[in-house]
Structure 1
Amino acid sequence: MEVVITSECSGQLWNTCIWEPLTGTTLRTFKGGISGSQSLCVVGGDYLIASIKDKPIIQVWALNRQDQITTKMIMPGIIQVLVISPCNNFCVGALSEQLLVWQLSTGKLVASLRRHYQNVSDVKFTADSSRFVSAGAEGLVLLWSLDTVLHSKECEPDSTWSDHSLPVTGLHVTKSLIQPLAFSVSLDQTCKIRDLNTGRTLFNIQFGQPLRSVVVDHAEESCYVGSQEGKIYRIDLLDPPRGVEQMVDETASRKMFVGHEKAVTCLSVSMDGCHLLSGSDDESARVWDMASGQCVRILAHRGPLTNAFFAPRYKHLDTDKFHPRVIINTFEKKRHDGQLNADSDTNVQLLMRCPPLMESLECQPNSLLGKSEGQASSDEMMQNELSHLKYVNRQLYAYAVDKILNGDTTKKNIRQVNKKNVGERILF
């Protein structure tokens, strides 16, 4: 079951509202300031995080506590764009033309990137959190490797696209792990589709009016583009043109969603692929039936929409108990040194690469166990214990495989394990 999360510019009633999409019922509201455009995110189903429009503040709410601010972070400037990685380990914020990367669990500012020449307008992560794409008002679209960003003092983007002639207003990155595609729309009336693996521009779709938002359904069959005049165009991705260039107008579009009176700034597709959500400057969010193109629900607001998206109905929305799985610490305002310190570097490697527990402990005993000169003997004892436990696990695994495959016919002898030495510390 899904919900709709929206925010708008007036802030008269609330900062953020959670709706039931088909009935229009308000499920929960969160007060405190006005969320900026492209700056409202859900973190791990536990928190809402947003940067405040026109104020250098990031606010965090717990999803189970209505109208209560959990954390307020003071930033060095106004954060225009805020996005959380799908792994819920990192946060990227845009401060004018600068990109700031924080580690959520420690709050450390782990990277500061300056490659845009004007304000950053949007940032999107790939599904595996390994890369992210940023777009700016100067028309640049940049592809960054998160691993390179975290471990290099001077980082350059993996790919740079400068084929937009006016500000880029919207981005979307598909969830494919094999061939992720990046969709970008601009005020120059074009939507460009790029392959992130090769860096090639696959299609350049020309429209007859400036564009403000873009989204692709989960099956990657259709692309939906929101225009400055309030129309939403549907582009069929299963029937691409023969050439790179394509022209779309009102007669050529197979389906168009008409109802908004002003610019469509937000687009989102439901997880079941049946409904499309649009947010507009006409102070309304609309839920559309994608098959028929009909509007099934209008969610009225008191100001232009800044954020609108579908989200799962998290368990914290239906309970007063709060057991978060994600840790959020206060974000640092500035980077103290040119690179991650040893402790945070170790944490980043574990979060990014997620090695097996036994291998990570064996490969990085110094950093994980806090080795010092006076702890050499204890570290050696720990290494011996780890080696013994790994040996025991190998024996248990061989015995289990042999019993499963050969049943009672097995004749292998398994070395007896000294229970007194191992106790209950055997790791499965």
Structure 2
Amino acid sequence: MVQPQEVILCAVGPSSPASGAGGIYIHDLQTGTTLASFKQTSAPVHCTTFAPSTQGQGGVLLAAQSEKTLVHAYSFQKDQIMLRIAVPEKLSCLAIDRQGRFCAGGTSQGRLYLWEVSSGILFAAFDAHYRAVNVVRFSDDGTALATGSEDSGVSVWLISSLLDNELQTGLPMPYWMPTDHTLAVMDLQWGMGAFPGCRLFTVSLDSTCKIWDITTKTLMTTFVFPSPLSFIAVERTERTFFAASAEGEIFQMNLFRQRPGASGFRMEAVGGGGGAEAIRLGEGGDDIRKMKSEQPLRSLTISLTSAMLLAGTIDGSILIYDIPSHQLIRSLNVHKGYTIDMVATLLRPPDLLGHAPLGFGNKEEQIPILPIAAFQRVKDQRARERHDVPMMLLALDEVCILPSISDQVQQHHSYFLSDLPSSAPDGSVASLQTRVSDLENEVAKLRGQLGRAKGVNDTMWETVVRSVLKGEKDGINGDEHGPEEGRRKRQRVAAA
């Protein structure tokens, strides 16, 4: 059984015109080894997105170019551009849902576009905000998307309303428009669960992070930080989240705390007091949990196991922190001269080939890629009515189905929780035990030799001390007879 491998997906952009074009890279999380690279792309922050390989289809990567009205599409199976997609205007942010059905893009003019990936049909194009759209993200189930803007606004949109033919003539109405931020909203993250039974996390340059309850359309809690915030990473079970400033400060805020009770300590939730509640970092005597990068940040994410925090910097480094200790355990510095504009972690795609050539009859070659078509630049009513969706049907001698992410997690649950890799050979363990036994015997032998050497040294020291003391005593006794012996010698000399 092949064990799962967590990998890093990062998008790098040029830090200066002299740096050249950037790219998208996949690295091994444990070793930092480059597993694949996708060149000829330069996408700014929030402009790179992907749909994972799952349910029998290979995933895709999409990157909106910074200086062009183009979106570059890649598959995990080839390192070359699969499709160059022309869009109506330059995009300031881009997102695709997990299922790879819809793609949304925002612009610096505040417009929002929604395409169907498989057909390329433009279903929505309208002014969603007064100023630039900084970030757009789909909910986990793909039924809603949220946008954050320079105008300090947050909007939640139902995909069903954007697809409704009867609502195409007028301006779409958002599902909800929270308006409590006072400065630009720079990043947002959806919580776990299906829409609308989930929460929404937003961070802003007003130094606050707000948690919104989508079901009741209310503000749950406001967290106040000492610096303007640009990025957020939420732990998958929503026990904690990390908010970071562009200058390199990363703050941790736990959504639970321990309180003393009659039967010992008990756990209680943090927040939930509504719009009037504002919790400041370090309030209530808690220590301020903070990490500081020497370089400004461009991206932030948490590993799949929630054990590590990854931060992309402006100098091309990927910093990997241990979450419990906040220690920097590794730094990947293979992209010097570039900026890390996106960083994410995922299980290694089953159809990832890197630079290996495709061979006929190869099993990976039989995996179809998620259908993707050129996006329409204007709405086409006839195309909407026809709604042609291309599908790839292959006649296979052997069915090759990619397992879903949940299936992989359940299958390898014990592997993720084990202290030692289960794939370690028994011979290695036996050899290690033998080595430990040999070292223990050697230590016992050295201790015996040290004891004998100490005994010899003590004996020699006692002998020297006794000799010195005896010599001093003899000298004193000799001085007592000295004058009488001298007088006798003088008498003999005089008689002679």
TM-score range, shorter chain: 0.7 to 0.9
Asked if 1:73 is matched to 2:85, the reply is: yes
Q: Unaligned 5+ residue runs, structure 2?
A: 54-58, 258-269, 359-363, 390-496
User: Equivalents in 2 of 1:289, 1:247: separation in Å?
Assistant: 24
Residue in structure 2 matching 1:24, options 26, 29, 32: 32
Per the alignment, residue 188 of structure 1 pairs with 206
Match of 1:51 among 43, 64, 73: 64
User: Are 1:14 and 1:29, in contact at CA under 8 Å, matched by a contact in 2?
Assistant: no
Cα deviation for residue 208 of structure 1 reads 1.1
Q: Structure 1 residue 327: deviation in Å?
A: 0.4
Partner of 1:408: none
1:171 to 181, 188, 212: 188
2:345 to 310, 317, 334: 310
Letter in 2 for 1:306: D
The residue number in structure 1 matching 2:127 is: 114
Task: Tell me the CA shift for residue 304 of structure 1.
Answer: 2.4
Task: Note if 1:40 corresponds to 2:73.
Answer: no
Following superposition, the deviation at residue 64 of structure 1 comes to 1.7
Q: 1:195: how far off?
A: 0.7
Match of 1:342 among 365, 373, 385: 385
Give the distance between the partners of 1:12 and 1:296, measured in 2 at CA. Answer: 30
Q: What is the alpha-carbon distance in structure 1 between the residues aligned to residue 286 and residue 119 of structure 2?
A: 48
1:405-420 aligned at under 5 Å gives the runs none
Relative to structure 1, is the Cα distance of residues 340 and 186 closer, same or farther in structure 2, using a 3 angstrom cutoff? farther
Kept in 1: contact 2:21–2:41 (CA 8 A): no
1:157 counterpart letter in structure 2: P
* Corresponding letter in the other structure for 1:93: G
Corresponding position of 2:263: none
Alignment TM-score, normalising by the size of structure 1:
0.76
Deviations 1:151-201 (A, max 9, x none): 021310011112111111111111222731111111111111101111101
Residue aligning to 1:270: 303
Distance apart, 1:95 and its partner CA: 2.3
Deviation at 1:12, TM superposition (A): 3.9
2:281 matched to 1:237?
no
Q: Which secondary structure does the structure 1 equivalent of 2:256 belong to?
A: coil
How is 1:120-131 mapped onto 2 (pairs within 5 angstroms)?
120-131=133-144
**What is the deviation of 1:242?**
7.2
The answer to whether the 8 A contact 1:145-1:157 is kept is: yes
Larger Rg computed on CA atoms: 2
Query: Matched residues in 1 for 2:224 and 2:122: separation?
Result: 39
Superposed CA RMSD in Å reads: 2.2
2:96 aligns with 84
- Where structure 1 has 5 or more consecutive residues not aligned to the other structure, the ranges are 348-428
CA distance in structure 2 between the aligned counterparts of 1:250 and 1:317, rounded to whole angstroms: 46
Q: Determine helix, strand or coil for the equivalent of 1:258.
A: strand
Q: Provide the C-alpha distance between the structure 2 equivalents of 1:41 and 1:158, rounded to a whole number of angstroms.
A: 24
Contact map agreement 1:52 1:58 (CA 8 A) in 2:
yes
Match of 2:106 in 1: 94
Among 371, 383, 386, the residue aligned to 1:327: 371
Shift of 1:237: 0.9
TM-score, normalised via structure 2 length: 0.66
Shift of 1:63: 1.2
Percent of aligned positions that are identical = 25
Residue of structure 2 in register with 1:364 after alignment: none
| Aligned match for 1:218, one of 217, 223, 236 | 236
- CA change 1:90–1:241 in 2 (3 A) is closer
Distance 1:226 1:250, change over 3 A: farther
Distance 1:201 1:340 in 2: 40
- Offset of residue 107 of structure 1: 0.5
Partner of 1:197: 215
Aligned residues: 344
1:266 partner amino acid: S
For the residue of structure 2 that corresponds to 1:149, the secondary structure is: helix
SS in 1 for 2:100: coil
Whether 2:279 is the aligned partner of 1:246: answer yes
Tell me the secondary structure at the aligned position of residue 346 of structure 2.
strand
Which one of the candidate residues 322, 325, 329 is aligned to 1:289? 322
Q: One-letter code of the match for 1:278? A: A
> SS in structure 1 opposite 2:45?
strand
| Counterpart position of 1:161 | 178
Q: Tell me by how many angstroms 1:261 deviates.
A: 2.1
1:86-145 Cα deviation digits (max 9, x unpaired): 221000011221110000110010111312000100011111111111010010000101
Rounded Cα–Cα distance in structure 1 between residues aligned with 2:383 and 2:107: 21
Seen in structure 2, the aligned counterparts of structure 1 residues 73 and 291 have a Cα distance that, compared at 3 Å, is: same
Superposed displacement of residue 251, structure 1: 10
Do the aligned partners of 1:209 and 1:228 also contact (CA within 8 Å) in 2?
no
Alignment equivalent of 1:145, drawn from 133, 158, 162: 158
Aligned residue type for 1:127: D
Q: Indicate if the aligned counterparts of 2:129 and 2:149 stay in contact, CA closer than 8 A.
A: yes
Q: 2, 5, 11: which one pairs with 2:9?
A: 5
Where 1:291 maps in the other structure, the secondary structure is coil
Q: Give the AA of the match of 2:13.
A: C
Q: Deviations over 1:367-416 (max 9, x none)?
A: xxxxxxxxxxxxxxxxxxxxxxxxxxxxxxxxxxxxxxxxxxxxxxxxxx
Given that 2:44 and 2:65 are in contact with CA atoms closer than 8 Å, whether structure 1 keeps it comes out as yes
Give the residue type in structure 1 aligned to 2:301.
S
Per the alignment, residue 450 of structure 2 pairs with: none
- With over 3 angstroms needed to count, the CA separation of the structure-2 counterparts of 1:124 and 1:13, relative to structure 1, is closer
CA contact (8 A) 1:207 1:249 kept: no
SS at match of 2:247: coil
The residue matched to 1:19 in structure 2 has which SS?
Answer: strand
Counterpart contact for 1:22–1:296, Cα < 8 Å: no
What's the secondary structure of 1:287's corresponding residue?
strand
Letter in 2 for 1:21: L
- Change in Cα spacing, 1:107 to 1:255, as seen in structure 2 (3 Å) is same
Counterpart residue number, 1:380: none
Describe the superposition over 1:199-238 as per-residue Cα deviations: whole angstroms up to 9, x where unpaired: 1010111111111101111111001111133121111112
